[in-house]
A and B are shown apart, each in its own frame.
Chain A
């Protein structure tokens, strides 16, 4: 229980530090007034707008007010749209969730079979092919993969839409671009743990007892090799939700990542803060969940 309490407190501290960082960085980025009024605005206009937006207060007061409101569940209003930030975030969450789910499905459905295949066919053609897939997926920058996919499948072949959410077909390219990295990670981790499992005593024993190859791979080796990949999968899911900024921007996918980029362009502090806080919360929560799962799975952690 003390372990859990420590993790919860650490999570809260993390969130608090993130609010400070986000608040500070967003102030450095620029003053939203320069986007709202003409550069030739009078000082009076400039000051009046600052007062209206709360920018006339000392920065620490702005921060305290921000945190106080957060605790009350009020993330403020968008500077440009004058709508509650929460409402704007909610409107974007389904798109990000959909993209993350599709990318996760791609990562698992491609990564797991390929990881197993690579381990079982160690040193052969398939192993080399799969490892190349994994190295490429982890080495190529995601923005470049995204543009490559667009130019091949949308511009060249004209099979799929180049951008935006226009239906299920428009989900394919961004999901592949976003999920390839996760699939590659799955391949490498699963291959490694499968190789360990396939070399283990109990697998050799099973083979010696005449158990079929399929049963050895899927029932004995695969199940015992899953612990690492499951943890990786959980963190992959969190990073897909939180880390889709580049993919959403390149594909103009109207999710949280694109919203964050647009908020930066528009110096819309409240939205930017809301997006970062939400994604941080997701990441911290998933990490906490993984810790709890570890605790449930491994009694040694409970004892410590």
Chain B
């Protein structure tokens, strides 16, 4: 069946940004689900469709196996990127709004309503009354909200949202005890969802100000109290076990669970053994073991979260002499700009650029994506056609339009047209640390590209080992990059970070996509945004600035003898929403 792209696109437009509120000129309320953001990324992963209001704590304990659980660092500005993700999902800390489980929109959580200022540069948030902090730190007030926001963006913060907050000049102010005002210097269509939703690393998790002031930053860093969510940290034995207990004074619907135990089990085979022997109720499952788990009559598997994106960066496309704001790029040309690389070409020569585009398209057409999904990911994934641009969950829906066939003959023909009839030599750097099968996938891509002629070598190194040369814009080779899980963050936001002013850039400083995204900031019509997005996606598809490979599912193995239902939002790649688990 052909999908109506425009219809889906409109849904997505409404979903990923808070623009709907701007257009409608109104905020949310308790009676009506808040605005906008009908994000596709909020589509829930549900084990069963049944739903009912849960009684408080009828089930005592749920046990989950996990690996590499990083210490949470209980201060907003010092929260590392990984725990920032699971903290949003484990129900210890909360954000103003959260993605709904069963419908694509944000729901109120710590607020009861919000309103956008008439100039579109600010929001007034009405905080929910009676929200108690864990550990007896009192009721949440506007001061706590403002303090948490300000601490996230203070000097020295490692919080993911600091760049966006600084760029927009965001400031927060407590209007009264339950009212917060947020103002920006410039409009930004991504700000609302990024900071007030729970799908982004930038989201503001509200901590108790009194707790930090009383304990001091160093002690607060280690202290486990102070959140507002349905679960309290009862124990944190780093590298061994985390125990969450239901919070009896929780302001929302109480959890069905009394206790959640998260056991750190490093070795995937042991995780599966723990699942099979009944030691744990659920565990992440690496793709090669998923079939084995599914064969067990008492176990089941399900894909959850946003799939991780595996893509190839043809580095060296450094063609911006000035930033979008017109400032000169320093240094220019970039050290990694090498026009002799077939996928780069001469920046100021349209013919050379067209040939480079054909080379990138040929590379893309030479990759048998389905084979990687079938043979490396064991079927748990799907081909990808627009990485980093289109939200992963829509990639499937829209793939008809931007589908790239595996067609070696057509790829070779493109290479002949581009002046490389015998192919070309290339080096693929494969970085590790994000997906257990990234090396295998990267090597498969190298083999596919090798079929075009020429020698394609691979070099495996850690992500952090690769990063300095990426920051320095020194690379002009190919970079195979993996993610174990995606995020629900608006993808345009990721692309905006690729502008020349930013630290990190995977070899893509090209004006066209950035300029297209920037145009979104100055329009007020959903239809116009929709058109702009389609232009952006068309641009990425036609130019293959980034070569998409596959989207790899995250797989969860569960004990189906015990678990009846687990409704999980896909707001991020982390497991969570324990309060939504129903047991047999």
Contacts and interface: CB of A to CB of B under 8 A. Distances in A.
A145 B469 CA distance: 42
Interface in A18-61: 28-43, 45-46, 48-49, 52
B163 A41 contact: yes
A243 interface: no
12 contacts: A38-B160, A39-B504, A41-B162, A42-B163, A45-B158, A88-B238, A154-B273, A154-B279, A164-B265, A252-B240, A252-B266, A254-B239
B464 A31 contact: yes
Nearest to A33: B464
Interface string A125-163: 000000000000000000000010011001100100111
B237 interface: yes
A30 B277 contact: no
Interface in B545-583: none
B517 interface: no
B504 to A, nearest CB: 5
A28 B162 CA distance: 29
B471 A155 contact: no
Among B239, B267, B276, B468, the one with the most A-chain Cβ atoms within 10 Å of its Cβ is: B239
Interface in B234-280: 237-241, 263-267, 269-270, 273-274, 276-279
B388 to A, nearest CB: 12
A273 interface: no
A-B pairs, 6 with minimum CB distance: A34-B464, A30-B464, A43-B503, A31-B464, A38-B160, A162-B273
A267 B471 CA distance: 20
Given A49-B158, A164-B263, A252-B267, A83 B222 contact: yes
Contacts of B502: 40, 42
Interface of B: 68, 70-71, 73, 80-82, 155-158, 160, 162-163, 201, 218, 221-222, 237-241, 263-267, 269-270, 273-274, 276-279, 433, 462-465, 467-468, 471, 494, 497, 502-504
Contacts of B238: 80-81, 88
Given A43-B503, A150-B270, 4 more contacts: A36-B81, A40-B497, A254-B237, A258-B239
A40 B202 CA distance: 11
Given A82-B221, A258-B266, A34 B467 contact: yes
A33 B277 CA distance: 38
Contact of B471 (A43, A82, A266): A43
B267 A249 contact: yes
Nearest to A48: B156
Interface string A260-274: 011001110000000
Interface of A: 28-43, 45-46, 48-49, 52, 80-83, 88, 147, 150-151, 154-155, 158, 161-164, 249-252, 254, 258-259, 261-262, 265-267
A42 B201 CA distance: 15
A45 B162 contact: yes
A49 B270 CA distance: 35
Contacts of B267: 249-250, 252
B81 A38 contact: yes
A265 to B, nearest CB: 5
B503 A42 contact: yes
Contact of A29 (B71, B276, B462, B494): B462
Contact of A267 (B263, B464, B494, B503): B464
Among A35, A38, A81, A266, the one with the most B-chain Cβ atoms within 10 Å of its Cβ is: A38
A41 B84 CA distance: 14
Contact of A82 (B222, B269, B494): B222
Contacts of A254: 237, 239-240
Contacts of A155: 273, 276-277
A232 to B, nearest CB: 30
Among A46, A52, A154, A162, the one with the most B-chain Cβ atoms within 10 Å of its Cβ is: A162
A162 B291 CA distance: 20
Given A49-B158, A262-B239, A80 B70 contact: yes
Contact of B274 (A39, A163, A249, A266): A163
A50 B475 CA distance: 23
Contacts of B494: 40
Contact of A39 (B237, B239, B467): B467
A235 B193 CA distance: 60
B233 to A, nearest CB: 14
Contacts of A28: 465
Nearest to A158: B277
Nearest to A160: B277
Contacts of B263: 163-164, 252
A89 B463 CA distance: 28
A261 to B, nearest CB: 6
B163 to A, nearest CB: 6
B56 to A, nearest CB: 28
A88 B240 CA distance: 12
A46 B237 CA distance: 28
A42 B80 CA distance: 15
A31 B504 CA distance: 15
Contacts of B70: 35, 80, 266
Contacts of B279: 154, 161-164
Contacts of B504: 39-41
B277 to A, nearest CB: 5
